[in-house]
Amino acid sequence: MIVLMIEDDKVLASALSDYFELDDIELDFAYNGESGLKLATENSYDVILLDIMLPKLSGYSVCKTLRERGISTPILMMTARDALDDKLEGFDAGTDDYITKPFAMAELYARLNALVKRSKGQVSSRLQIEDLTLDLDKHQAYRGKIPLALSPLSWKLLLVLAQHSPSIVTKEALEQEVWGEEISANNLKVQIHKLRQSVDKPFAQTLIQSVPKVGFVLRGHHPC
């Protein structure tokens, strides 16, 4: 995946760069609307990650101009502005999706990945591990045909595990992706327990497995 990120917050841009590097995602940067528009016009990207509040040219203007020029690259707008009118303005300008700051890295990755696959005509709205299905559009998980009752936090945890499945996710990586710097002691242990109550307890096959002193993994019964 090749991503153009147009974002004037260099701390956030650096954090996203480090996160995307783990998944071999190529990233181009622009720190204002004018340079972002120039890069988006002159180069080919799989998806554009676009802030709204930018120097020189707003994200709305960048998006609208790209669409007027016939550039159909998927665009995901990100902003701290969560009012309905702001979102509607973004969609009117031509964005494909919208995420509000602060966000979990796992959710951002899932949304970008879904946009890229849709643009290539691939089915992209679901993740499947054994009989567990995650519907990324509806934020709903199922075991077989049975919907699971998950809190927003449980959904984020499950999404991170599913995206990395069948690889192990360390405790530190889970904490960082879901809570950032705001996690309190023992919170992960408590939340994993709650997640297991919904995902595993009612069913014969256990999917969430602990890897002692390392982290957790979402997969069928295979040796770690």
Laid out side by side, the sheet with 126-129 consists of: 126-129, 132-135, 140-143, 146-147
Task: Please give the pLDDT value at position 122.
Answer: 47
Whole-number Cα distances in Å, 197 to 15, 97, 148, 202, 218:
32, 32, 10, 7, 14
Task: Please give the pLDDT value at position 82.
Answer: 66
Phi, psi for residue 81 in degrees, rounded to 5: -85, 110
Task: Please give the pLDDT value at position 125.
Answer: 67
pLDDT at 24 over 80: no
Q: Which of 79-88, 117-126, 170-179 holds the top average pLDDT?
A: 170-179
d(CA 218, CA 169): 9
Percent of the chain with pLDDT over 70: 91
- 51-68 mean pLDDT: 90
- 101-124 mean pLDDT: 76
pLDDT at 196 over 90: yes
d(CA 178, CA 123): 26
- As a whole number of Å, the end-to-end CA separation of the chain is 29
Burial bucket for residue 153 (CB in 10 Å: 0-12, 13-18, 19+): middle
Structure confidence by residue, pLDDT tens digits, 156-190: 899 889 888 888 888 888 887 777 666 555 688 89
What single DSSP character describes residue 187? H
d(CA 17, CA 26): 9
